[in-house]
């Protein structure tokens, strides 16, 4: 792997086999830390004017499994096994961040196939930018303690991010490995994950290690305000489930039972899609992200959150009610989507159905029932289940009769701009998804969103809507991950990792 004499690289490490998942992850971490430290040291020398005689390269660690049996495994499983005999491999980044996830996934492989995994160095170069946790850390290193810029361009010496090689062909089902190449073991390779980890801080203002496994996306600040108040109340009360609350700028507020206190500083300007995290042990808490308005934001943030492999994400937001029988404040539980937003048409064709997931639907319906106190037929007074249309034109209602006709033909009962993209990317990236919207206007029936009407609506409904979402996620947490990660999200030739 390092035979090219024109490349300066750390000494090759032998590939080792493991039947213990925890030991395998420890080895991945050792390789990763050694190789990224090598790159940081060489970049420091480069920034200080030291000539580098050869190109500098270090590679990501990899995990590989080789199977030879067609023996059928437990058909109830959605993940944790390879689809067919052969060699399957993936590269790994930030093993310390993904330790729990990697330990589970590797453990399932060993258990289900009864063979060891191989841990070693891959051929995938680590872009020097990704040897640092954040771009800002690299900028400091390149400052070179006040010295002038090096004569050699950075790209002549180090591997830099190659976006052409960071595609989503595995997730999209379009990857065609060359003959003899290993099959993929995971949806994302290491550099693609690193790219998203850096983007997450840029967009949300919080580091990836604060993100939790249960995610709420919303499109209004009112939900953020309610979530922040609720989290702070729970921490002040010392509720035992929670460790801390994290807001943009990595401002950490600790639970009173853990001594309380706050660290970090809020940013001068809020990021584009600020994230807030109610932290529980083992990433078992809840992350809420204000994605703002539009399908582009919805697609962008889910592209990046997906690499963290969350257990579920929900869209809680507002919508236009399309039926005259709906009232402002009624809830809409989406069981289908009309994808008129067009942000994922190339990656996920519009003919691909986005199915409702039973586990998500049941949790949301039960949560609405428990919070509102209504059940059975009476629940229909405040909630309808049906198709949600998502569009890319905020002024859709000015589009004339053709738009109204399409909505009628689709049987849609509500319209927004974000829900279909979030659900479609959940389907695409095998992340369980659900949508519960609240009717905030009915433009087709003369009830448009004016300032006075909107203010009263927000006061009445936001707190209840958020409570429903939190209760639904709590119900999902009580389920086994194997049940939550539905087989409906998996194809017939699927990667092994969840």
The predicted pLDDT at position 376 comes to 94
* In a domain? residue 204: no
Query: Is it the case that residue 247 has pLDDT exceeding 70?
Result: yes
221 and 194 together in one domain: no
Confidence of residue 172 (pLDDT cuts 50, 70, 90): very high
Looking at 272, 290, 308, the residue that finishes a domain is 290
Does residue 185 lie in a domain region? yes
The domain spanning residue 190 has which CATH number? Answer: 3.30.1730.10
Q: Is the residue at 203 inside a domain?
A: no
Percent of the chain residues past pLDDT 70, beyond the cut:
93
Q: Is residue 208 part of a domain?
A: no
Domain stops at, among 290, 316, 334: 290
On whether both 271 and 401 belong to a single domain, the answer is: no
Tell me which of 398 and 4 has the higher pLDDT.
398
CATH number of residue 330's parent domain: 3.40.50.1580
Same domain, 282 and 340: no
What's the rounded mean pLDDT across residues 141-149?
60
Instruction: Look up residue 296 and give its two tokens.
Output: 């582009």
Q: What is residue 3's predicted lDDT score, i.e. its pLDDT?
A: 46
Mean pLDDT throughout 334-363? Answer: 96
- Do 271 and 318 lie in one domain? The reply is no
pTM of the entire predicted model:
0.93
Domain identity same for 39 and 177? yes
174 and 244 within one domain: no
pLDDT of residue 5: 53
Residue 1 placed within a domain: no
Question: How far is it, in rounded angstroms, from Cα 448 to Cα 383?
Answer: 20
- Average pLDDT rounded to a whole number, residues 146-171: 84
Within this chain, do residues 13 and 96 fall inside the same structural domain, yes or no?
Answer: yes
| 209 in a structural domain | no
Cα torsion 331, 247, 239, 478 to 10°: value is: 50
Same domain, 315 and 456: yes
Same domain, 305 and 267: no
Least Cα distance to 396 among 413, 418, 415, 409 occurs for 415
Residues 243 and 328 in one domain: no
Look at residue 295 and tell me if it is in a domain. no
User: Is there a single domain that holds both residue 140 and residue 242?
Assistant: no
Q: Which domain holds residue 248?
A: 217-290
Query: Does residue 1 carry a pLDDT above 50?
Result: no
In a domain, 211, yes or no: no
When pLDDT is averaged across residues 413-421 and rounded to a whole number, the result is 97
Task: Kindly state the percentage of the chain with pLDDT values over 90.
Answer: 78
Based on the structure, what is the number of domains in the chain?
A: 3
Shared domain check, 310 and 285 = no
Query: Domain boundary at 290, 308, 326, which?
Result: 290
């Amino acid at each position: 792997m390092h035979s090219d004499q024109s490349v300066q690289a750390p000494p090759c490490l032998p590939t080792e086999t493991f039947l213990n998942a925890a030991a395998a992850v420890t080895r991945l971490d050792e390789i990763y830390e050694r190789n990224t430290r090598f790159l940081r040291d060489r970049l420091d020398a480069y920034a200080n004017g030291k000539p580098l005689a050869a190109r500098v390269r270090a590679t990501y660690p990899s995990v590989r499994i080789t199977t030879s049996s067609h023996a059928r495994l437990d058909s109830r499983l959605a993940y944790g096994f390879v689809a067919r005999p052969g060699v399957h491999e993936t590269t790994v980044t930030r093993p310390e961040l993904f330790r729990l996830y990697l330990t589970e996934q590797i453990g399932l492989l060993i258990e289900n196939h009864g063979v060891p995994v191989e841990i070693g160095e891959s051929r995938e170069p680590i872009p020097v930018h990704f040897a640092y946790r954040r771009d800002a850390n690299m900028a400091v290193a390149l400052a070179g303690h006040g010295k002038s810029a090096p004569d050699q361009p950075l790209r002549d010496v180090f591997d830099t991010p190659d976006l052409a090689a960071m595609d989503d062909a595995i997730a999209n089902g379009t990857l065609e490995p060359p003959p003899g190449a290993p099959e993929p073991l995971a949806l994302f390779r290491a550099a693609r994950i690193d790219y998203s980890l850096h983007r997450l801080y840029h967009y949300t203002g919080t580091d990836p290690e604060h993100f939790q496994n249960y995610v709420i996306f919303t499109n209004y600040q009112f939900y953020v305000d309610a979530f922040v108040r609720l989290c702070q109340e729970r921490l002040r009360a010392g509720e035992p489930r929670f460790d801390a609350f994290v807001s943009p700028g990595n401002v950490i507020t600790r639970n009173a039972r853990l001594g309380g206190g706050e660290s970090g500083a809020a940013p001068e300007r809020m990021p584009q899609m600020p994230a807030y995290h109610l932290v529980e042990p083992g990433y078992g808490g809840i992350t809420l992200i204000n994605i703002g308005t539009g399908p582009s934001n919805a697609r962008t943030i889910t592209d990046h959150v997906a690499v963290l492999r969350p257990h579920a994400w929900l869209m809680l937001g507002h919508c236009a009610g399309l039926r005259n029988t709906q009232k402002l404040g009624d809830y809409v539980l989406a069981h289908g989507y009309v994808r008129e937003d067009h942000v994922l048409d190339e990656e996920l064709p519009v003919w691909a159905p986005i199915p409702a997931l039973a586990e998500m639907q049941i949790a949301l319906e039960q949560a609405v029932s428990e919070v509102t106190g209504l059940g059975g037929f009476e629940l229909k007074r405040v909630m309808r289940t049906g198709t949600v249309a998502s569009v890319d034109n905020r002024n859709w209602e000015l589009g004339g009769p053709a738009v109204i006709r399409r909505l009628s033909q689709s049987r849609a009962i509500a319209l927004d701009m974000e829900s279909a993209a979030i659900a479609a990317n959940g389907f695409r990236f095998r992340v369980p998804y659900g949508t519960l919207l609240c009717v905030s206007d009915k433009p087709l029936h003369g009830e448009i969103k004016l300032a006075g009407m909107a203010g009263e609506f927000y006061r009445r409904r936001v707190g209840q809507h958020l409570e429903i979402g939190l209760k639904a996620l709590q119900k999902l947490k009580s389920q086994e991950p194997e049940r939550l990660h539905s087989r409906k999200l998996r194809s017939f030739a699927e990667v092994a990792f969840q």
